[in-house]
Structure 1
Amino acid sequence: MLAGGRAERLGTPKPGVVVGGRPLLEHALAATSGAGRTVVVGPDELADPDRYALTREDPPFGGPVAGIAAGLSALPGPDDGGAVWVLVLACDVPRAAEAVPALLAAARHRTDEVAVHAVRGGRDQWLVGLYERAALHAALAALPAVHGASVRNLLSGLPALAVPDEDGATDDVDTWEDAREQDRRLGAGAVPPPDETPHDPHDGRRPR
């Protein structure tokens, strides 16, 4: 799970932003509840060893591809009982738990595909997807560098099943407007994380 971006438009780390009564990180963890092991790629303050492993790309803020590489490295390998398939998930998709069952169902009916990812309004949602571990390793190894690499460059060449998202389950939170919209869908007031008053670019206020 990718939880270490700068979140420049929100002005505060995304994992702690509350929508629908829960932080974004908690929504994402709910989507991984059936996983054999969960790895969160993010800063030290997210550590919760009883629930998941925490790691970080080196250097930090290397982008989602660097985060995927770090997370994959933190999972057990095939010789240690590691899973054949890996769920790659951004932490800013609060309704991801609604999308994951459809991905799993599609994966059970694949033929030669090594990836299953959501598509929303014709746009590939690479960071709500299932990927064969070996194919993901090979794709990462084929890149000249992972730091700053494009997710499209990493994943678009993989034979994939596209799962349409007609209900917006894969819509993410990039701005406070997005947070308010997700909150409306989930039914509670979006608030910043405790002890923080971030800048909302839509209302002109500055942090205190």
Structure 2
Amino acid sequence: MVIELSLSGFAAIVLAGGQGSRLGGVDKASIEVGGRTLLEYALDAVMDAGEVVVVGHQVPTDRPVTFVREEPRFGGPAAGLLTGRDALLRTFPTLAVLAVDMPRLTATTFRRLHEAAVGHEGAILTDPEGRRQLAFVVETARLDAVRPDLEGQHGMSVRALLADVDLVEVTPRGDEGRDIDTWTDLRDAAPDLPDPDGP
């Protein structure tokens, strides 16, 4: 089965449960840039989603989202993704997945990913050097088919989880493929963050 274009038929999972070790253990979701938290930027990027689950600490927000903690705790992004998928109240044809530390992602990014995924099992954003980022859409049934058991999720990378999934790679526009891993990244982020009132 492959993805058909439907921007109303997807749920979103925001991965916000990392340890932020290069930022001194700070919870990335609550970090403010330009007066807004990284979580707010992430939620803006998936505003088209029918349901949103945030995997990580609960952060104040007026958005209708569900917060869960990954299982196993600090088990890595694959464990977080699958925990988020299990927390969804409804089943959607596709899932949009993003890391909370990519504030340059926008709703337009995920529309492009959905368009690119048509005829495939998903689509994933790369950085300018072609490395796959934690920003992708994937067919829900295909993700369910490749998931390991609970023990196998611990420490698994998303790359390994999706190794057998047909993901088309999508080149970033501008800096949308950049993430925030260090204080330098954070310092440099504010000037080019997306306008919350923009497209």
Which TM class, normalised by the smaller chain length?
0.7 to 0.9
Output the amino acid matched with 2:33: V
Tell whether 2:103 aligns with 1:94: yes
Q: 1:73 to 1:178 in 2, by over 3 A?
A: same
Structure 1 unaligned segments of length 5 or more: list them.
188-208
Q: CA contact under 8 A between 1:57 and 1:70: conserved in structure 2?
A: yes
Structure 2 unaligned segments of length 5 or more: list them.
1-13, 195-199
How far apart in 2 are the matches of 1:149 and 1:128?
Answer: 17
The alignment's TM-score, normalised by the length of structure 1, stands at: 0.79
How far apart in 2 are the matches of 1:47 and 1:22?
Answer: 12
Q: Determine which structure has more spread, i.e. the larger CA radius of gyration.
A: 1
1:119-164 deviation line (CA, Å, top 9, x unaligned): 1221112x20000001111121378610111111111321111111
Q: CA contact under 8 A between 1:118 and 1:164: conserved in structure 2?
A: yes
User: What's the counterpart of residue 21 of structure 1?
Assistant: 35
Tell whether 2:63 aligns with 1:55: no
User: What's the counterpart of residue 124 of structure 1?
Assistant: 132
Q: Which of 120, 135, 148 in structure 2 is aligned with 1:141?
A: 148
User: What's the counterpart of residue 21 of structure 2?
Assistant: 8
Q: CA contact under 8 A between 1:39 and 1:75: conserved in structure 2?
A: yes
Alpha-carbon distance, 1:49 to partner: 8.1
How far apart in 2 are the matches of 1:158 and 1:119?
Answer: 16
How far apart in 1 are the matches of 2:50 and 2:149?
Answer: 27
1:76-132 deviation line (CA, Å, top 9, x unaligned): 35xxxx21000011110001115222112223xx22x1111111221112x200000
**What's the secondary structure of 1:46's corresponding residue?**
coil
**What's the secondary structure of 1:41's corresponding residue?**
strand
How far apart in 1 are the matches of 2:140 and 2:21?
Answer: 31
User: What's the counterpart of residue 30 of structure 1?
Assistant: 44
Q: CA contact under 8 A between 1:48 and 1:54: conserved in structure 2?
A: no
Q: Which of 71, 75, 79 in structure 2 is aligned with 1:66?
A: 79
User: What's the counterpart of residue 114 of structure 1?
Assistant: 121
How far apart in 2 are the matches of 1:102 and 1:152?
Answer: 21
The percentage of aligned residue pairs carrying the same residue is 39
The alignment's TM-score, normalised by the length of structure 2, stands at: 0.82
Output the amino acid matched with 1:31: A
Q: How many residues get paired?
A: 179
In the TM superposition, structure 1's runs of 4+ consecutive aligned residues that sit over 4 Å from their partners are 47-50
Q: 1:89 to 1:122 in 2, by over 3 A?
A: same
